């Protein structure tokens, strides 16, 4: 929901930094993989109870995730780059809740499982819609120029990042926040299914 608003404000800075990285010979794929590695380090820090360190690493990872697209716009986009970006994004979104589950399984395991299920369902609805949209030659740039068709929703990257930040700042509230965001994520998936029913009928 907030991705469009956020992109308008951060894209100019990302494009400036990404342009310098591209000129220095850094590839978009290298940025994507590096950002994911930092995200895994964030999950590991969280799993060991280092929540503020995890927060710093988490934010650094998402900065890298924004920079890879900026680099690609200068050096040229590739199908492999788009593929890596989406796969590693989904892996990151699963790793952070897993870190909180490992940090306190007794308190967080069930809520974490429900949140991961909601991510799984939402991700499936997103990717299946993108496949059908490509098959029908649909076009859309609601979230800027992307490697695949993006459908908008209530729970997008900006909202997910905000929830992850809240997890790190208020780890004792992980379960409550996770249940609430899982409900929002399930709603997003359902709304996409309804949209598919209208568009692909």
Give the Cα separation of 21 and 182 in Å (integer): 36
Taking the model in full, what pTM does it have?
0.85
Give the Cα separation of 80 and 62 in Å (integer): 20
Q: For the chain, what's the residue count?
A: 201
Counting the structural domains of the chain, the total is 1
With beta carbons less than 8 A apart as the criterion, state whether 61 and 42 touch. yes
- Residue-number span of the structural domain to which 179 is assigned: 3-199
With beta carbons less than 8 A apart as the criterion, state whether 128 and 90 touch. no
Question: Could you list the pLDDT tens digit for every one of the 201 residues in the chain?
Answer: 554 555 656 666 666 666 687 777 788 899 999 999 999 999 999 999 999 999 999 999 999 888 888 888 878 788 898 899 999 999 999 999 999 999 999 999 999 999 999 999 999 998 888 888 888 777 655 544 545 555 666 778 889 999 999 999 999 999 999 999 999 999 999 998 888 888 887
* Strand intervals (E) in the chain: none
Closest CA to 58 of 72, 73, 42: 42
Indicate which CATH number applies to the domain containing 98: 1.20.120.1760
């Amino acid at each position: 929901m907030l991705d469009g608003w956020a992109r308008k404000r951060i894209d100019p800075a990302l494009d400036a930094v990404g342009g310098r990285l591209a000129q220095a010979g850094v590839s978009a794929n290298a940025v994507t993989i590096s950002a994911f590695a930092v995200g895994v380090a964030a999950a590991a820090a969280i799993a060991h109870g280092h929540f503020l360190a995890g927060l710093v690493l988490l934010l650094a990872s998402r900065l890298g995730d924004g920079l890879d697209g900026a680099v690609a716009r200068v050096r040229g986009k590739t199908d492999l780059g788009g593929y890596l970006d989406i796969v590693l994004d989904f892996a990151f979104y699963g790793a952070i809740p897993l870190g909180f589950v490992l940090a306190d399984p007794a308190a967080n395991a069930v809520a974490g499982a429900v949140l991961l299920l909601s991510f799984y369902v939402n991700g499936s609805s997103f990717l299946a819609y993108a496949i059908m949209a490509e098959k029908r030659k649909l076009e859309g740039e609601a979230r800027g120029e992307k490697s695949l068709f993006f459908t908008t929703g209530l729970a997008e990257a900006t909202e997910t990042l905000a929830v992850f930040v809240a997890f790190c700042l208020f780890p004792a509230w992980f379960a409550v926040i996770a249940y609430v965001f899982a409900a929002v994520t399930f709603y997003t998936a359902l709304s996409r299914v309804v949209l598919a029913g209208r568009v692909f009928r």
